[in-house]
């Protein structure tokens, strides 16, 4: 397998979600008026600080609990720990990592939500060098019905929700509003080692014997239901066996003029899929792809305000600031198909780092985690034609593609030929017969370092209005590799500059 370079670089991992609701309430009434679900979110003061400065060889976890909460998160005023040596971790109620933070976050921010009434914060330091530490000044929590065994919670198309089931036979009900002209309902459920099933029904709660569609394979589920019909859809997650947390995403795709998918809704949302694979199942490993994924995540979330981001990586999930799934070819394709839920007002990004290969004459593929040892009916190789077939379904107004794999220039001709190519800006680390390179000095792939760190962050000052064309020109002029290893660019509309 050809050696490939990684991409992505690092900026602040500034945090998290940015909602600043003080107190809010919303009610959903089922069509038969038999159930009302009320959710109340409240922000209140909460003082928690590390020592200033903290000590060496320190490892302590603080547990924050709000009785009766169905979700909880915390607000940091500031984090300042030794970069890449000392860390602040944030865990959910079950001990799953939500954030791994290092360095300086001078403006702080909100963490992700932890389901249930508990969230945990841990400070872990090494044997030398100390900094200021961290401070928390607020918590936000949600009270109300919902949760396992009976309540209903509302879903938003394309948004992932996280919850949990306590054991075999336990279930949780969700609802989603479907408008006219909906062409498909795509439901994805991931549940770790448990075996959870999905059931969907229009206008009433499904049961295991009464439903309009269901997914009942082993493990999680992936179900597409075409022409679902307008109204309130009820979706039940049920444990066939096992317990634990799960992620559920329901994406609605509309024909032109509908409430999503093809037609715009007047609101711009930003979606991204980030892939970074350092350690492979069956082929040689790489060094910095997880750092690449982390750095791109930090940039698009904290600088570019992306709304919906899925990160797929290798088996070392704790190396990523957010972790959606293992980057098998099957899972990556699912994530890319999820981007089809973006409508014509939205913007999408696909950013990927890992091994790559091809015939050197235009046929190229990206090596997913299961390359040479495929899973779920795939061979682990995401070919240029397969990628183009998925990108061609995206309705988004702007499409950004950043590829840091060997031979990746071979993907460009297939993207150029798409009917929506005028929406695309794409750059690759090399030509169709070139290579990428690990950059041990900067702990990133070379092209990722020069494009993201050297260009977007250092030279252009993380200005959200930076044109990708300008960044490419600046980065490639300093890039230390040439010939077939020269980075490539495709700009589908040269008359308009492209911004992230």
pLDDT in the model for residue 94: 64
Please compute, for residue 331, the number of CA atoms within 13 A of its CA located in the half-sphere on the CB side. Answer: 24
pLDDT tens column, 141-151: 877 543 333 34
Which range, of 219-228, 277-286, 322-331, 404-413, averages the lowest pLDDT?
A: 219-228
Average pLDDT, the chain: 85
417 close to 385: Cβ distance less than 8 angstroms:
no
Q: How confident is the model at residue 263 (pLDDT cuts 50, 70, 90)?
A: low
Break the chain into its structural domains and give their ranges: 36-144, 158-252, 270-491
User: Strand 213-215 and strand 244-254: pairing?
Assistant: unpaired
pLDDT at 297 over 50: yes
pLDDT at 299 over 80: yes
402 close to 427: Cβ distance less than 8 angstroms:
yes
Percent of the chain with pLDDT over 90: 56
Residue 311 DSSP SS3:
strand
274 close to 207: Cβ distance less than 8 angstroms:
no
pLDDT in the model for residue 118: 85
Rounded CA separation 286/312 (Å): 16
Residue 94 DSSP SS3:
coil
29 close to 36: Cβ distance less than 8 angstroms:
yes
Nearest to 332 by CA among 315, 319, 350: 350
Rg (CA), the chain: 23
36-144 has which CATH code? Answer: 2.60.120.290
Look up tokens 């990004």; give the residue: 349
Same fold, 158-252 and 270-491: no
pLDDT tens column, 205-261: 888 877 888 888 888 898 888 878 777 888 999 999 999 899 999 998 876 544 444
Pick the CATH number of 270-491 from 3.40.190.10, 1.10.150.120, 3.40.50.1460, 3.40.50.300: 3.40.50.1460
What pTM was computed for the model?
0.55
158-252 has which CATH code? Answer: 2.60.120.380
């Amino acid at each position: 397998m050809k050696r490939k370079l990684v991409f992505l670089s690092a900026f602040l991992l500034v945090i998290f979600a940015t909602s600043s609701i003080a107190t809010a309430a919303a009610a959903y009434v089922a069509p038969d008026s038999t159930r009302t679900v009320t959710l109340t979110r409240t922000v209140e003061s909460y003082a928690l600080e590390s020592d200033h400065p903290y000590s060496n060889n320190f490892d302590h976890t603080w547990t924050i609990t709000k009785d009766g909460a169905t979700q909880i998160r915390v607000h940091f005023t500031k984090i300042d720990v030794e970069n890449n040596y000392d860390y602040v971790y944030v865990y959910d109620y079950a001990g799953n990592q939500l954030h791994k933070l290092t360095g300086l976050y001078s403006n702080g921010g909100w963490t992700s939500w932890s389901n249930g009434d508990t969230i945990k914060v841990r400070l872990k330091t090494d044997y030398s060098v100390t900094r200021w530490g961290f401070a928390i000044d607020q918590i936000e929590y949600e009270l109300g019905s919902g949760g396992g065994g009976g309540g209903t919670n509302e879903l938003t198309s394309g948004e992932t929700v996280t919850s949990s089931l306590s054991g075999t036979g336990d279930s949780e009900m969700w609802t989603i509003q479907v408008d006219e002209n909906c062409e498909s309902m795509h439901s994805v459920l991931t549940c770790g080692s448990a075996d959870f099933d999905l059931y969907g029904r229009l206008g009433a709660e499904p049961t295991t014997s009464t439903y309009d569609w269901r997914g009942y394979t082993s493990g999680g589920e992936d179900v597409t239901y075409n022409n679902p019909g307008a109204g309130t859809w009820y979706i039940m997650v049920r444990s066939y066996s096992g317990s634990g947390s799960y992620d559920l995403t329901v994406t609605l795709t509309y024909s032109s003029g509908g409430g999503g998918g093809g037609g715009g809704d007047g609101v711009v949302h930003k979606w991204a899929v980030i892939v970074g694979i350092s350690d492979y199942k069956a082929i040689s490993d790489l060094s910095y792809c997880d750092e690449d994924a982390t750095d791109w995540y930090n940039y698009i979330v904290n600088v570019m305000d992306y709304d919906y981001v899925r990160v797929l990586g290798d088996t070392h999930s704790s190396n990523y600031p957010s972790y959606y799934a293992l980057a098998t070819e099957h899972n990556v394709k699912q994530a890319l198909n999820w981007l089809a839920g973006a409508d014509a007002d939205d913007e999408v990004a696909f950013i990927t780092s890992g091994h790559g290969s091809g015939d050197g004459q235009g046929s190229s593929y990206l090596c997913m985690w299961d390359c040479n040892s495929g899973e779920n009916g795939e061979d682990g190789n995401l070919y240029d034609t397969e990628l183009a077939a998925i990108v061609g379904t995206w309705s988004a107004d702007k499409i950004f593609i950043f590829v840091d794999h060997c031979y990746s220039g071979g993907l460009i001709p297939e993207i150029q030929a798409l009917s929506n190519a005028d929406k695309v800006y794409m750059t690759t680390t090399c030509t169709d017969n070139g290579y990428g390179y690990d950059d041990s000095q900067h702990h990133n792939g070379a092209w990722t370092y020069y494009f993201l760190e050297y260009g977007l962050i250092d030279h252009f000052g993380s200005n959200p209005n930076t044109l990708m064309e300008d960044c490419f020109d600046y980065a490639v002029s300093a890039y230390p590799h040439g010939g077939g290893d020269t980075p490539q660019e495709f700009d589908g509309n040269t008359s308009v500059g492209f911004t992230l």
